[in-house]
Chain A
């Protein structure tokens, strides 16, 4: 077959894979719409509100005269509105368990008593603010203990942390679900064996699926970043070569993983379980939604070896710290090598029939 005919074969394979994806409207929503909605939701949820509302359960009888709501203003920390709800001890306890309150206030022998879980940082904060209010010092910091300098510049907010994470997670999800599932589905439909019963070049087939997938991921990520820039003003003056290369390396690593995962089974449910078993731990551990430094120290070196961690950390350092190609060269090389390894292992055991 001439080169021109081969190129045509590859072109038509790419076109069919592309059509298969974009003609399924659900795919566009879950691939592009959903990550954007999620970042919008989380971005808003974690942006500090100017007025914070704290509900406190007050156990009756309560001797002190207490207004139903007390507003404490602070020029740096924003105002806090305390809402006091009077109720019986039993009732308060039930509502605390349900998460309606995290602090119960009562009074014994004229003494205020604060009941809360000392391990819960939010309850602790509530206690500090409340106790200070009762002492008549609305500022959390004692006088002359230093000054508050608010950090609100782009790069230090939760959304700045989150966008690189969800971008990386999107790459993983799209490769694992899109590629693995696509391959397993084609095998179970006997389409794979029908295709390889022709002179089709097998490598073109896999190449076309991966190309289309990476292309889709590129568009999805671009839209996500564009959205985050418009909605939250994240920093987009970043090193483009570094970003592109680590993006490609991440895609490559997950594409390799996807081919390996889907190399044998023809059962979509087995595939389902397999993909979940790989995707889910990484989603939790790789610092997508919260920093993995919350995990015990011994786990961190292991977590750092996960491909999603490498990708997310790399992308994050590019966006937040302004890292360049040199700083992210290591994850780029490791991810590329990993992709090559997984891909060739997958191809070795790949079952077309």
Chain B
């Protein structure tokens, strides 16, 4: 049997009261690929990713993850995916290690896996710190650690580095690059940063106002353009970080 793509979306639409957030998105992501959705604020990135995560349901269209729909397979899919929501907060007065153990228990995992993850995201020094006292970068590394606990087949990260300084951002890229080498997980992340898409991903989807403007490998997209930034201005007439 042919292996199903990791993520598949067909003609997906989603509106809120007055806004059409996602207007007919088609998407196919193969297993093991690292894909970035690049787009400005309000492009519909979160809405699209949350539909893939099974948190929101599309108004119309179909979404399949690992060949399965959320409607009938949510329990299995929850075990297979890892995710990082845009600006989630955890329990303030719980320690880093306690938070990881708690989430580990949801997957039936033991403390040895928790120790692996705490090393992987470099929070060993902070293991006894309360979550509320972590810096922005450390919080984000914790969030990524939580999403990696179950060794997910698909990792979905919504703006994992927004608001972090360049150093903290590079630390997160290093974690994800290591994951790329060590596993054949699929990664889908959203970002405003060209550099992030370039550093991490083989495939880039440019999205604005609910539709996909252009997609392809870095080289395909760039063509004769000097950078993704130029390409974006070309496509929309504005800067990405406006």
Are A189 and B88 neighbours in the complex by a CB distance under 8 Å?
A: yes
Are A191 and B75 neighbours in the complex by a CB distance under 8 Å?
A: no
Instruction: Say if the beta carbon of A277 comes within 8 Å of chain B.
Output: no
- Min CB distance, B223 to chain A, in Å? 38
Instruction: Say if the beta carbon of A198 comes within 8 Å of chain B.
Output: yes
| A side interface size, CB within 8 A | 24
Are A191 and B55 neighbours in the complex by a CB distance under 8 Å?
A: no
**1/0 contact trace for A7-41 toward B, CB 8 Å?**
01100110110011001100000000000000000
- How far apart are the CA atoms of A15 and B108 in the complex, in Å? 16
Are A190 and B94 neighbours in the complex by a CB distance under 8 Å?
A: no
Are A197 and B78 neighbours in the complex by a CB distance under 8 Å?
A: yes
User: For A24, what are the chain B residues with a Cβ–Cβ distance below 8 Å?
Assistant: 93
- How far apart are the CA atoms of A193 and B49 in the complex, in Å? 14
Q: Contacting A9 at CB < 8 Å: which of B81, B106, B150?
A: B106
Instruction: Say if the beta carbon of B32 comes within 8 Å of chain A.
Output: no
Are B89 and A16 neighbours in the complex by a CB distance under 8 Å?
A: no
Are A5 and B108 neighbours in the complex by a CB distance under 8 Å?
A: yes
Task: State which residues 88-117 of B face A: CB under 8 Å.
Answer: 88-94, 98-99, 101-103, 105-108
- Min CB distance, A282 to chain B, in Å? 30
Are A19 and B93 neighbours in the complex by a CB distance under 8 Å?
A: yes
Instruction: Say if the beta carbon of B79 comes within 8 Å of chain A.
Output: yes
Interface range on chain B (Cβ under 8 Å from partner): 20 to 34
Name which residue of chain A comes closest to B143, CB basis. Answer: A194
Are A197 and B108 neighbours in the complex by a CB distance under 8 Å?
A: no
Instruction: Say if the beta carbon of A119 comes within 8 Å of chain B.
Output: no
- How far apart are the CA atoms of A318 and B169 in the complex, in Å? 63
Are B89 and A189 neighbours in the complex by a CB distance under 8 Å?
A: yes
Are B101 and A353 neighbours in the complex by a CB distance under 8 Å?
A: no
**1/0 contact trace for A35-60 toward B, CB 8 Å?**
00000000000000000000000000
Instruction: Say if the beta carbon of A200 comes within 8 Å of chain B.
Output: yes
Contact count A vs B, C-beta below 8 Å: 70
Are A5 and B105 neighbours in the complex by a CB distance under 8 Å?
A: yes
User: For A191, what are the chain B residues with a Cβ–Cβ distance below 8 Å?
Assistant: 88-91
Are A195 and B91 neighbours in the complex by a CB distance under 8 Å?
A: no
Are B89 and A1 neighbours in the complex by a CB distance under 8 Å?
A: no
- Min CB distance, A258 to chain B, in Å? 19
Instruction: Say if the beta carbon of A199 comes within 8 Å of chain B.
Output: yes
Name which residue of chain B comes closest to A353, CB basis. Answer: B55
Q: Among A13, A19, A189, A194, which residue has the most Cβ atoms of chain B within 10 A?
A: A194
- Min CB distance, B104 to chain A, in Å? 8
Are B83 and A197 neighbours in the complex by a CB distance under 8 Å?
A: yes
- How far apart are the CA atoms of A144 and B101 in the complex, in Å? 79
Are A9 and B93 neighbours in the complex by a CB distance under 8 Å?
A: no
User: For B78, what are the chain A residues with a Cβ–Cβ distance below 8 Å?
Assistant: 197-199
- How far apart are the CA atoms of A19 and B93 in the complex, in Å? 7
Are A16 and B88 neighbours in the complex by a CB distance under 8 Å?
A: no
Instruction: Say if the beta carbon of B53 comes within 8 Å of chain A.
Output: yes
Name which residue of chain B comes closest to A24, CB basis. Answer: B93
Can you name 20 A-B residue pairings with CB atoms under 8 Å? A1-B108, A2-B108, A9-B105, A12-B105, A13-B105, A15-B98, A19-B93, A189-B90, A190-B88, A191-B91, A194-B83, A194-B88, A197-B54, A197-B83, A197-B85, A198-B107, A199-B107, A199-B108, A200-B106, A353-B55
| Interface of B toward A, CB cutoff 8 Å | 53-56, 75, 78-79, 81, 83, 85, 87-94, 98-99, 101-103, 105-108, 130, 146, 150
- What are the 6 A-B residue pairs with the smallest beta carbon separation, nearest first? A23-B93, A200-B106, A198-B106, A189-B89, A5-B108, A9-B105
